């Protein structure tokens, strides 16, 4: 089960980032975190921005709705998703993961 937490500003989404991957994609779940692979290197925030972009695209959100909340220098991160109810986000994640399995 994916770790999601409702806070006043939106929903916190736990992410396991994989920088310097072969492609940009949501690749599955890892210990309750959504695993996101990006081609960018983990330097000067490039991978963090790439993860936010991949998340926004995969979940059908605008780029301004996804921002890094914690974990700037770690592969374990939390992204704040703004303007989406928790259950709707959970549904979007499930749809994204099921689409990946096809």
pLDDT digits (tens, 9 = 90+) for 17-63: 999 999 999 999 999 999 999 999 999 999 999 999 999 999 999 99
Please state whether beta strands 25-30 and 10-18 pair in parallel, antiparallel, or not at all (unpaired).
unpaired
Distances 74 to 52, 66, 91 between C-alpha atoms, Å: 14, 18, 27
| pLDDT exceeds 70 at position 102 | no
How large is the average pLDDT for residues 77-85?
A: 97
In 3D, which of 94, 83, 80 has the Cα closest to residue 12? 80
Please state whether beta strands 10-18 and 4-7 pair in parallel, antiparallel, or not at all (unpaired).
antiparallel
Task: Specify the DSSP element, H or E, that contains 91.
Answer: helix 86-100
Confidence of residue 99 (pLDDT cuts 50, 70, 90): confident
Q: Does domain 4-100 have CATH number 3.30.1200.10?
A: yes
Show me where the domains of the chain are located: 4-100
**pTM of the predicted protein model:** 0.94
> Could you tell me what percent of the chain has a pLDDT over 70?
98
Model pLDDT, residue 1: 80
In 3D, which of 36, 43, 31, 32 has the Cα closest to residue 59? 36
């Amino acid at each position: 089960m994916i770790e999601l937490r409702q806070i006043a500003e939106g929903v916190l989404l736990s992410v396991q980032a994989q920088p310097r991957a072969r492609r940009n994609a949501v690749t599955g779940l890892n210990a309750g975190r959504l695993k996101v692979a990006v081609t960018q290197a983990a330097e000067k925030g490039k991978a963090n921005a790439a993860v936010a972009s991949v998340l926004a695209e995969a979940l059908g959100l605008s780029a301004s709705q996804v921002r890094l909340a914690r974990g700037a220098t770690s592969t374990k991160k939390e992204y704040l998703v703004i303007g989406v109810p928790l259950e709707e986000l959970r549904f979007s994640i499930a749809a994204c993961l099921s689409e990946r399995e096809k």
